[in-house]
Chains A and B, each alone.
Chain A
Amino acid sequence: MNHRTNMQSDADAPVLSLQGVSKRIGSKWIVSQLSFDVHKGEVVGLLGPNGAGKTTTIRMIAGLIGMTEGDVLVRGSSIRSDWKRAIRHIGAIIENPEFYPYMTGCDNLKQYQRMNPWISRERIDEVVRLVGLEQAMKKKVKAYSLGMRQRLGIAQALLHEPSVLILDEPTNGLDPAGIREMRDYLKNIAREEGISILVSSHLLLEMEQLCSRVVVIQDGKLVTVRSINGGSGESEQPGQQEAMRVMFRVGRLEEAKRLLEGLDLAEVLAVNPEQSELILSLQYKDIPGVVERLGSGRIPIYLITELKQSLEDEFLKWTGGNQIA
């Protein structure tokens, strides 16, 4: 038994493991019994509406906030009882990265170098190159844009060669170009440095594009853990039995609707007269049948699109949508 766990820990033990993490403030449980793992090289999203406990969780992982119950293991070291060893493997950006504005980027990084003296001068250069800030190192941080500060934040987090990067709302306040840049950096880092990333956000689209797995929490409790399958490749071969939602934009909407209602291949879910659209629920293999039927009625078809259940829809479903947390 013992032998087996040892074997496992070498191969695919989680880099970061939350075990029943709970935080109580007063009589309110901000986070309760939260457990999940992050494995090597994985990008995991921590998703939840505002006030769900994302920031508290992230701060507990970094040891900034004490836990009421549970523990966090970072490469097997407990953040509670062996903080120094555990934190060694963590790099973090918590909310907006804040630096000493009156110092240059270089001086700021040197501050962190002095706190972990094993970091070499070369490592600083390497990290600065990775985030593309070579030109800005001699400038004072107060002259940096938010995007540059984010990059310096990443550099700061990578300095001591951590195994896992934890990021709290890393794209808050960035413009679309900045968000995209950030995403590219993070993917790059996960791939090239083999670092696991745990990123919290309430921005669903972003999570969809960045993460391979999302952990959804609400009111401090785990709602669900979902894998996000890689991008568009998925739609090519959907499950044969599963009904999918497809939008048809057609001419002569009423007539089209009547035609399809007589057909038991598809179910009309909704009619959208403004756009002249029909939303159907049907199986993948039945799409040609529907097209044939419409064609036989000489209905013009302008557009056929699969309506994918987006992460957003699912998210609202999981978290009970309309209630403001």
Chain B
Amino acid sequence: MRSFSLLVVNEWLKMAKKRSFFIPYAIAAVAAIALGWILQRWGGEMMSEASALDYTVLMAGMSGFGQMTAMLAIIFTAGIVSGEHGQGTIKFLLIRGQSRSAVLASKYTAAVLFTLSLAVWLTVLSFAAGAFFFGMDAGEAGWRDVLVAGGSSLVYSMIFMTLAFMMGVLTRSTGAAMGVGMASVMFSGIVIPKSFYKYVLFPNADLSVYSQGGHAPIQGMSLGFSIAVLAAYLVLFLVASFVTFKKRDIA
């Protein structure tokens, strides 16, 4: 276990030592603060009753910056496997006596941690900016709403990050991983009202549609159904990644 956590530390350092590492956090911070300021200044009627929690729900949820978190996570983790191939560092990485499964698992863990840190960072900053601009008075939203909004954004980001991760393993190309990941985020908004489509990943990715008495995107879908579909896709992506990575000849 200790040796695995050291592998995760390695992967984290590979991301964190890049000079561009702070950029996604900065983007999230700027977005959270700037939007808060804009809404306070020009929000008018709409925001006059708002509280810090309302703002947090707005920002962290899928209607706010949930998609952005997913995109940032994809952009900054797309190269985590393919980058090693591209740089040629994969040769050293795989001859150090750590199994390929452990190496890939450490990479996925680091990508998950990164996505998680982004989501938490965005939520915390939104709350701070909300408290500053709108005050701590009780508004409409409660902590539970924050949890639902942030949680569904996180699930959404994880799913598409995992998809990009798999593409990186399969194609060994950062561009392909990023492209497919981003395109999927774009397409996820489109809902084709046919019954087969409910088994596709996209309409299921946003779990927040089920909150606040919302209705299912396609008939026959429910929260449980979507979670099951998402879990199946997640397992599929990971199995495909690990099987490919373990078997691959490093040429």
- Contact of B250 with A90 in the complex, beta carbons under 8 Å: no
The interface stretch among A6-14, A93-101, A181-189 is A93-101
Q: Given known contacts A95-B88, A100-B87, is B95 in contact with A90 (CB within 8 Å)?
A: yes
Which chain A residues in 86-130 approach chain B with CB under 8 Å? Answer: 87-88, 90, 92, 94-103, 107, 111-112, 114-117
Contacting B17 at CB < 8 Å: which of A103, A116, A117? A103
Q: Say how far B8's CB is from chain A's closest CB, in angstroms.
A: 10
- Contact of B9 with A87 in the complex, beta carbons under 8 Å: no
How many residues on the B side are at the interface (Cβ–Cβ under 8 A)? 27
Residue A17 is within 8 A (CB to CB) of chain B in the complex: no
Residue B96 is within 8 A (CB to CB) of chain A in the complex: yes
Q: Say how far A285's CB is from chain B's closest CB, in angstroms.
A: 54
Q: Which residues of B contact A95 (CB under 8 A)?
A: 88, 91
Contacting B97 at CB < 8 Å: which of A98, A114, A115? A115
- Contact of B17 with A115 in the complex, beta carbons under 8 Å: no
Q: Given known contacts A84-B99, A111-B13, is B92 in contact with A117 (CB within 8 Å)?
A: no
- Contact of B10 with A102 in the complex, beta carbons under 8 Å: no
- Contact of B89 with A98 in the complex, beta carbons under 8 Å: yes
Main secondary structure of the interface of A (DSSP, over half): loop
- Contact of B98 with A65 in the complex, beta carbons under 8 Å: no
Chain A contact patch, size range? 20 to 34
Q: Given known contacts A62-B95, A102-B18, is B251 in contact with A114 (CB within 8 Å)?
A: no
Contacting B89 at CB < 8 Å: which of A84, A99, A114, A115? A99
Which chain B residues in 1-49 approach chain A with CB under 8 Å? Answer: 2-3, 6-7, 9-10, 13-14, 17-19
What per-residue 1/0 map shows which CB atoms of B208-251 lie under 8 Å from chain A? 00000000000000000000000000000000000000010111
Contacting B92 at CB < 8 Å: which of A83, A98, A103? A98
Taking beta carbons and an 8 Å cutoff, which residues of A are in contact with B?
A: 59, 62-66, 83-84, 87-88, 90, 92, 94-103, 107, 111-112, 114-117, 156, 160
